[in-house]
Amino acid sequence: MNQYKQSLAVLLVVLLASGCTADKNTATEKMSDNAGIPRMDDGTPDLNGIWQVLNEANWNLEAHGASQGPVYALGAQFSVPPGQGVVLDGTIPYLPGALTQKQANAAGRLEQDPEIKCYMAGVPRSTYLPYPFQVIQSDDDILIAYQFAGAVRHVNMDEPTEAIIPSWMGWSNGRWDGDTLEIAVTGLNANWLDRAGNYYATSARVTERFTLESTDLIRYEATIEDPSVFSEPWTIAMPLYRRQEANAQLLEYNCPEFAEEAMYGDLRSEPMPDTLH
């Protein structure tokens, strides 16, 4: 609870200080003659706005068919939708022992998936959760705020530095590679990558690439490296779309109170309501 409140407080302070809104009309009117994308005063692409994916990656990064959801009493609600997959080479290159762990994760997802407990989803999963996130960018700083679990991360655009301690969102060092924002993320807690049990350990390194292809479209890629889990680095890719509502904004999603059963069981503050019968 305290972690959520602290993250939300940081987000609110930054939003109020920046005076940013998500309306796409707030993007600078300065346009590149050759790229046709909105740009900041220093010439870098303007990523400011509310963004969201439109895919099934949070169910499973790999291609998969439709299947029964984990709670049979819910019928078609929360059944698994089919997805074409977002892994560039099709299959995640697990080491044999790690693949066994992934399969065990999938079997125990109702008890083990950090999303069920409202833990911060880490990187890159926070990007393709089915919730919006906001990029707040100035000429010197970039902050990314996520609706789910009140997660926030600051992208260090100065000389790269190391994470002090591991954390759910890790430590982000960014740089511009031409018109692509490249972010190297280290210092991550072990975490899941989707609801299918794909995961990484604390030795993971994630390299993200955000390329603004038009005012309303970012091409997103993330390369995951973890020699304790994978035989080689692998990459996911997907488009991110700007939310088009004139008043689009991040809303409070205080999910820890919905996750007390998963987090505390019999120690929850109120009895679990019987809503499935």
Q: Where are the domains of the chain?
A: 2-68+80-264
Cα–Cα dist 136/30, whole Å: 17
For range 78-85, the mean pLDDT: 94
HEC letters along 169-221: CCEEEEEEECCEEEEEEECECCEECCCCCCEECCCCEEEEEEEEEECCEEEEE
- Cβ burial of 112 (10 Å; 0-12, 13-18, 19+) is middle
Least confident range of 8-17, 80-89, 106-115, 187-196:
8-17
Report pLDDT for 89.
93
Per-residue pLDDT reduced to its tens digit, 112-168: 999 998 999 999 999 999 999 999 999 999 999 999 999 999 999 999 999 999 999
Global pTM value: 0.84
Query: With pLDDT > 90 as the criterion, what percentage of the chain qualifies?
Result: 71
Mean pLDDT, residues 239-247 taken together: 95
**Cα–Cα distance measured from residue 238 to residue 8, given in angstroms and rounded to the nearest whole number:** 27
pLDDT of residue 257: 67
Judged against a pLDDT cut of 60, whether residue 27 lies above it is answered with no
Residue 50 structure tokens: 């509310």
The pLDDT tens digits of the residues spanning 91-114 come to: 999 999 999 999 999 999 988 999
What is the per-residue pLDDT across 48-78, written as a single tens digit (0 to 9) for each?
Answer: 999 999 999 999 999 999 998 878 888 898 8
Task: Give the pLDDT of residue 16.
Answer: 40
79-110 as b/e: b if 16+ CB within 10 A: ebeebebbbeeeebebeeebeeebeebbeebe
Tokens, residue 64? 């998969």
CA distances from 124 to 17, 20, 26, 57, 70 (A): 27, 24, 27, 11, 24
CB 142 within 8 A of CB 136: yes
Per-residue confidence (pLDDT) for residue 255, from 0 to 100: 78
Q: Distance between CA atoms of 191 and 58, rounded to whole angstroms?
A: 13
Predicted pLDDT of residue 3? 47
Q: Which two tokens stand for residue 261?
A: 């059963």
Name the token pair of 92. Answer: 């995640």
The CA-to-CA distance between both ends of the chain, in Å, stands at 30
Residue-level pLDDT at 70: 79
